[in-house]
Amino acid sequence: MISGNITPLARWGLPMPGMFLCAGPCSAESEEQLRQTAAGLAGCTLSLFRAGVWKPRTHPGTFPGAGAAALDWLVRIREEFGFPVGAEVGTPQHVEAALAHKLDLLWIGARTSPDPFAVQNIADALKGVDVPVLVKNPVSPDLETWLGALERIHQAGIRRLGAVHRGFATSHDTRYRNAPLWRIPIELKRRLPDLPLVCDPSHLCGRADIVPPTAQEALDLLYDGLMVEVHHQPAEAWSDAGQQLTPAQFRDMVAGLVIRKESGGSLSYETQMQGLRHTVDEIDDDLVDLLARRMEIVRAMGDLKRRYQVSTLQPTRWKEILASRLAAARKKGLHEEFVSQVYEIIHEEAIQVQEEPMFRAADEGKH
Ligand code: PEP
Ligand code: MN
């Protein structure tokens, strides 16, 4: 477990315009492309200008990034525009090359962070080095894997350490390229309140039009910053063309962002909020009560099924339940995806409750 010893963002030695603010293209394509993008961002206060030097691509034969040559381009961007510069690293060789060019920050991508061997190799290459490192969430929705990667980097002695939430690959069809599953970064924040948490709305959304509201949503959830893909000509980008903002769109977005605070600070806010919270508490009591009653009935149904040798799974009934509950939910203005996930969890629990007696028999057999 990471215990303390995490440097607050304010002491990372990077510009912090009220938050950690990173912008730059998905991939470093050419020096000219980096220069044009940086020129579009000139005058912005950025904590970091980003560019993917080595790209972990799904398919071979797609653009793998310009490689080590792009490190020289980034160094010249830093000299010309004054932006700190950073890139993704996936191997110890990447780390060495990036450090040799004195990059201001390194990050570990979503395809590398789930691999303990790869992360350990990177951690070993970082031993004794004092550079800021961000760890992106692994593609699969698994908080422990994300924590494990952060722990390996922390154990290497990195104290300017942060996490980037870029969404998770799921089978559910959502408006996002990668489902946000906000509950996972919220749980990370609960466990490691001192760890800076940055949102990457670009990879999360996969489309430029919903990047600004998603960035605001992250700030509403008290994130410490943003990493945003910006390209001077998004439509021409060699990777992630659909999700990159133009420098002008990025400026507009930043101008419109509101940094919220945790507390309203006024008596009127506190009184109104207390009233609403009280009602929510009562509703939650009822919800738990209803769930308990539902499971009690489910258990009785399980006993009946067993006595009459009827299968636990009743596909026709399950189909009817889902359809009727979704129709009811629709009428109440609830999101179908939400209610369908709730019912899938309830159904799975009901199956488990009905199967429990068989496991009890197995357990008793052991003693
Ligand atoms: C990136 O930031 O360039 C990138 C590849 O993102 P991710 O690792 O989140 O997919
Ligand atoms: Mn990208």
pLDDT in tens, 11-58: 999 999 999 999 999 999 999 999 999 999 999 999 999 999 999 988
Tell me if 26 CB under 6 Å of ligand 1.
Answer: yes
Compute the distance from residue 41 Cα to the ligand 2 centre, in Å.
18
Cβ partners under 8 Å of residue 207, min gap 6 = 177, 242, 243
Rounded-to-integer distance, Cα 135 and Cα 150, Å: 6
Closest CA to 119 of 162, 141, 159, 151: 151
Predicted pLDDT of residue 173 = 66
Tell me the pLDDT band of 263, cut-offs 50, 70 and 90. confident
Q: Per the structure block, which two tokens stand in for 256?
A: 């419109």
Rounded-to-integer distance, Cα 68 and Cα 243, Å: 25
Collect contacts of 216-223 with beta carbons under 8 A, ≥24 apart: 216/256, 216/257, 216/258, 218/165, 219/19, 219/257, 219/258, 219/259, 219/260, 220/260, 221/182, 221/185, 221/186, 222/189, 222/260, 222/262, 223/19, 223/165, 223/185, 223/197, 223/198, 223/199
As a whole number of angstroms, the longest Cα–Cα distance in the chain is 79
Compute the distance from residue 203 Cα to the ligand 1 centre, in Å.
7
Mutate to test the pocket of ligand 1, among 94, 107, 200 (most ligand atoms within 8 A of CB): 200
Tell me if 203 CB under 6 Å of ligand 1.
Answer: yes
Q: Is 356 helix (H, G, I), strand (E, B) or coil?
A: helix
Closest CA to 73 of 108, 33, 24: 33
Mutate to test the pocket of ligand 1, among 111, 228, 229 (most ligand atoms within 8 A of CB): 111
Predicted pLDDT of residue 216 = 97
The protein residue with its alpha carbon nearest to ligand 1, atom 9, reads: 110
Of ligand 1's atoms, which has the minimum distance to the CA of residue 137? Answer: 9
pLDDT in tens, 48-101: 999 999 999 889 999 999 999 999 999 999 999 999 999 999 999 999 999 999
| Whether this model's pTM surpasses 0.95 | no
pLDDT in tens, 117-148: 999 999 999 999 999 999 999 999 999 999 99
The protein residue with its alpha carbon nearest to ligand 1, atom 6, reads: 109
- Mind spelling out the 3-state secondary structure of 222-258? CCCEEEEEECCCHHHCCCCHHHCECHHHHHHHHHHCC
Mutate to test the pocket of ligand 1, among 203, 226, 245 (most ligand atoms within 8 A of CB): 203
